[in-house]
Every structure is written in structure tokens, then in C-alpha cells.
Chains A and B, each alone.
Chain A
Amino acid sequence: MSDCLTLRFTVPADDFTRAGEASSSTKATLKQLGLPADIIRRVAIVMYEGEINMVIHANGGEITVEICPDQIVMVLKDTGPGIPDIQQAMQAGWSTASGAARDLGFGAGMGLPNMKKCADSLDIESTVGVGTTVTAVVRL
């Protein structure tokens, strides 16, 4: 039997009002498990940025969070347009967000850099026209 707890979320497309639900739910679970505040904050930031990216760029997607004794693994999978140049997307300040997203305070080009900063490891696999899977790990 696995020692890991698995949480699964669906992120709806184009719905900024629900973006953050997966992060909030995960944060509440980690709090209940008594994990350190710094870990919870880092996981919440990775989750939230991932959710927002899915809403802005990818028509929603699926998030799986695996909470294990030694690490928390977040897999954020979408079937959106894909990222043509991942290196460019990782640069702070680079953004292809819409005007609507910018009006809401997003689109600063900080999403992926923030995720990288808060995760111990961040892996992005993306194929244009197929989708993107981001795997982020926070070690405990």
C-alpha cells in the first residue's frame, strides 16, 4: 500500500473565478497534515501559478498532487496549444497572456519563473498542438 496521499483536480477553462480552488484545497490539506508553513506556501504558489497558466493559456487541465513522506509531487497536465520555446517561456517577464488576463493583474511573465523558484525541481514537457505537462517537486 502506498504511503502517499493523492489529490486530483480539474481546472476549468477560461474561468478566473474558480482559479485557485485546487491550490486552496491543497493548502488546506497540507495544513491539516501539519506540514511546515514554508512548505505549504511553496506548494501553494506552484499550484496557483500552474492553475492560472492553465486558465489563461491552455483551456484548463488536470492536476494531480501526490503527498508522500519525503516529497510532494504536482503534475499539471493540459491539452492546450503547447509551448513553442520553453527556454523563452521560463524567462522572467516573457508573457503571451491576453489583455483580459493582464487586466486582472496577470501576464507579468512571472508564472513559470515563480514555479521554478518555489519548487525543488521543475520539469516541463510540451508539444505544440498537443499540450503541456509540468511536473514540480517540493521535497520535505
Chain B
Amino acid sequence: MTVGELMDSGLFQVVNRGDDLDRPVERVFCCDLLSVAMCNAPAGCAWVTVMGNINTLAVVALTDAACVVLAGGAHLDDTAAQRAVQQGITVLATDQPIFEAALAIHQRLA
């Protein structure tokens, strides 16, 4: 499944449409501590988190995550929203808790 296909799946709200929609989503990764995510998020993952600040986007960019999914009703603050547009990062969102959101992606990948 590509980022674009995940975006069009209807599972999540689209907060920002990124630049690389043909990129495959290879895994799902869940974590809210940015230092832990920084070290462990696999490249090409869909990262599910409740952290919606600008540093979340820095971690997405530095780890080469395919996209980020804000779970549990989390949303990007204004600065982060601008940065997502500037850097072409795909950001999705849902009111579902992290586990359910990650499971929904995982089931599409299986």
C-alpha cells in the first residue's frame, strides 16, 4: 500500500497531502516519545502518535518515515501545519486511539 492509497482509504482525515504519494508504506510504528521514535522509527513506516508539534515533523523527516498519523484526536499546531506543507510531509488524523489506528493500517498491509 502506498501513502496515496492509505490517504484515499477513508480510514483517516487528510491533514496534509505530502509530496511522495507513491511511496510504499512498509510498516506501522507507534510511539509518543520523540527520542525513542527518533532512534527506532523504521524508514518507510506510517508513524502513529498523539504528538502533533513541529518536532514530530522533524522526526518524520529525519527518520524517513513515509507519513504520520495523529491518533486520539491529536492535531497539528499552526507552526507544525505550515512545516508539513513546506516539507511535503503527509499527515493524517483520526479520533481513534493509537492501537486501533495502527491496527487498521496493519490490516491493510497484511
Contacts and interface: CB of A to CB of B under 8 A. Distances in A.
Contacts of A49: 35, 38
Interface of A: 16-17, 19-20, 23-24, 27, 37, 41, 44-45, 48-49, 52, 104-106, 108, 110-111, 114, 117-118
Contacts of B59: 48
Nearest to A42: B39
Contact of B54 (A17, A27, A52): A17
A45 to B, nearest CB: 6
A45 B62 contact: yes
Q: Indicate the size class of the contact surface on chain B.
A: 20 to 34
Contact of B62 (A16, A27, A106, A108): A27
Interface in B31-82: 32-36, 38-39, 43, 51, 53-56, 58-59, 61-64, 79
Contact of B51 (A41, A52, A104): A104
11 contacts: A16-B53, A19-B58, A20-B61, A23-B58, A44-B62, A48-B62, A104-B53, A105-B51, A110-B33, A114-B35, A114-B38
Contacts of B51: 104-105
B38 A16 contact: no
Contacts of A108: 33-36
Interface of A is mostly: helix
Contacts of A16: 53-55
Contact of B33 (A17, A20, A105, A117): A105
Nearest to A108: B33
Contact of A117 (B39, B55, B56, B63): B39
Contact of B61 (A17, A24, A52, A106): A24
A118 B39 contact: yes
B36 A110 contact: yes
Contacts of B32: 105
B35 A19 contact: no
Given A16-B54, A20-B62, A117-B39, 14 more contacts: A17-B79, A19-B55, A19-B58, A37-B64, A41-B43, A41-B62, A44-B63, A104-B53, A105-B53, A105-B56, A106-B35, A108-B34, A110-B35, A114-B35
Contact of A104 (B34, B62, B64): B34
A106 B34 contact: yes
